[in-house]
Structure 1
Amino acid sequence: MTYALGQRSLARLEGVHPVLVAVVKRAIEISTQDFGVYEGVRTMERQRKLVASGASKTLNSMHIPAVDRLGNTTERLGHAVDLVPWIDGEFRWEWGPCYAIAFAVRTAAAQLDVADKMNWGGVWDRWMSDLPGTEAGIKLAVKQYAARHPGVDFLDGPHFQIGRKG
């Protein structure tokens, strides 16, 4: 089945780095799991609330607009998106479908030649280009990451960013 981003998801990509937007748009075309853009650009006020609630671990979020980390423009852009599984008409926060989305994003990033500039909240310490080229391999990479970082890191399956690892 072919999926497409809805109007709400497209609106949430406004202000996000155009290279990351292109990856997201390609990923939805090839994904075996439908997803929506839950969040793109954030304000510092929102980020503070997320940190206070434990939903984020840093105030230095890639969602907050900053000068282009890829050096293509001086425009302030968001460099992260949260892509959440869309199941039965609602966002679902569960890990299983996140692996399919991560595989689609990894594939799209490779097709657009930016996988070496993107990383994922499931494996913070690797570029997408360093992740295995299968959904099963990506699932294993998350387990390996968790073993390398026991109890200290925040695994964030929906989070994808461009321009900075971890």
Structure 2
Amino acid sequence: MTFRFSKRSEHNLQGVHPDLMAVVRKALALTTVDFMVTEGVRTKERQQELVKRGASQTMNSLHLPQADGYAHAVDLAAWVGGVRWDWPLYHKIAEAMQLAAAELGIPIEWGGDWTSFKDGPHFQLPRGYRA
């Protein structure tokens, strides 16, 4: 099955590091679960709002533009007849993201692997990443 990003997903990829963008695009070609990009670059105000709501735990988010000017994180949402938050779907998306990253030789981290704050939709380049 072949999936394509919507205009909204394409817009949400603007300002994301090109290497992470390449992984996301490759993963869409490999995945068995369609997904959309819900967030890439965030403003400090947006990040503050998410911390206040408990949806994020840090103001040091890789969604904020880094020293190279790019966001180093994206949030993805499973799309199965609409947005779905079923945890098993995110494991499948993570498999596609990890396979794409391996094929492209680009390291990524998945928020679903975190121990203290599991974040299934979140993928990022390692902190301090340089191409």
Question: What TM-score, normalized by structure 1, do the two folds share?
Answer: 0.74
Question: Number of residue pairs matched?
Answer: 128
Q: Which runs of 5+ in 1 are unaligned?
A: 69-75, 125-148
Q: Tell me the alpha carbon deviations over residues 12-70 of structure 1, each in whole angstroms, 9 at most, x when there is no partner.
A: 000000000000000001100000001000001000000110111111000000113xx
Three-state SS of the structure 1 residue aligned to 2:58 is coil
Q: Which runs of 5+ in 2 are unaligned?
A: none
Q: Tell which has more relative contact order, 1 or 2 (C-alpha 8 A, sep 6+).
A: 2
The one-letter code matched in structure 1 to 2:66 is: A
> Per residue, is there more strand in 1 or in 2?
1
Q: 2:36 is matched with which residue? A: 36
Q: 2:127 is matched with which residue? A: 164
Which of 85, 104, 117 aligns to 2:96? It is 104
Q: How does 1:15-94 map to 2 (within 5 A)?
A: 15-68=15-68, 76-88=69-81, 90-94=82-86
The one-letter code matched in structure 2 to 1:98 is: Y
Runs of 4+ more than 3 Å apart: none
Question: What TM-score, normalized by structure 2, do the two folds share?
Answer: 0.93
Residue 13 of structure 1 pairs with residue 13 of structure 2: yes
